[in-house]
Amino acid sequence: MLKRLLVILAATAVLAGAAPAVANAMAQPVSHVDPARMMGRWYEVARLPNMTQRGCHAGTSDWTRNGEGFAVVQACHRGSPDGPLAEWKAHARVADPISNAKFKMTFFGGLVSQEYWVLDDRADEGWLILATHDGKYLWLMATKPTLPATFKTEAVARIKQLGFDIGRLEFPLPIHG
């Protein structure tokens, strides 16, 4: 019982300590995403600051099919790309079966849930923009550890066009090799 209470308090502290929303909460998800597109490893290129990922580098998000949804393992290395590994496990399910661009993710055995939207998907360039529905959290994710400079510039311009403050973006160090 005490362990469960500590997990709830820790999750609440993480969510309450996040940076205030300064993004355009009116950004809408793309009209369609192929759910198979989400499968595999995604690499974090940029993000808005958040307490959970403070000091994180070489971030990844691994999506695998799991029954009606996806098992998601998010990981990063604390302090440097070679630092200690931190991992968060989640379950994701499609929240909008028409577009497949909205996902409901649950963490800590279902104690914490959040809806994530795909705001842009450039499959041909290997990147997408993922954010929470309220615009509080945002990530630029890629299918390779680094994005070519032209694609990265295009993606950051798109983030700005969506109403986010690109001056707040963090660009963690990528995975080595």
The 3-class secondary structure across 129-169, one letter per residue, is: EEEECCCCCEEEEECCCCCCHHHHHHHHHHHHHCCCCHHHC
Check: CB of residue 129 under 8 Å from CB of residue 47. no
Give domain 35-168's CATH architecture: Beta Barrel (2.40)
Residue 142: predicted pLDDT: 97
- How many CB atoms neighbour CB 115 within 10 A? 15
pLDDT tens-digit map of 79-88 = 999 999 999 9
- What is the structure's pLDDT at 25? 55
Q: How many helices (H) and strands (E) does the chain have?
A: 3, 8
Per-residue pLDDT for 18 more than 60? no
Helix intervals (H) in the chain: 2-16, 35-38, 149-161
CA distance 21 to 154: 23
CB crowding 84-104: b at 16 or more within 10 Å, else e: eeeebebbbebbeeebbbbbb
pLDDT of residue 91: 96
What's the pLDDT tens digit per position in 92-147?
A: 999 999 999 999 999 988 899 999 999 999 999 999 999 999 999 999 999 999 99
* Contact present, 61 and 74 (Cβ < 8 Å): yes
Model pTM? 0.84
Which pLDDT belongs to residue 2?
A: 32
List pLDDT tens digits, range 22-80: 445 578 999 999 989 999 999 999 999 999 899 999 999 999 999 889 999 999 999 99
pLDDT score recorded for residue 67:
87
Per-domain boundaries in the chain: 35-168
**The amino acid at 112:** V
Cα 61 from Cα 107, distance rounded (Å)? 14
Q: What is the reported pLDDT for 3?
A: 39
Q: What is the pLDDT of residue 20?
A: 39
From its phi and psi, is residue 53 left (phi > 0), alpha (psi between -120 and 50) or beta?
A: alpha
Which residues, other chains included, contact 120 with Cβ-Cβ below 8 Å and sequence gap of 6+?
Answer: 30, 128, 129, 155, 158, 162
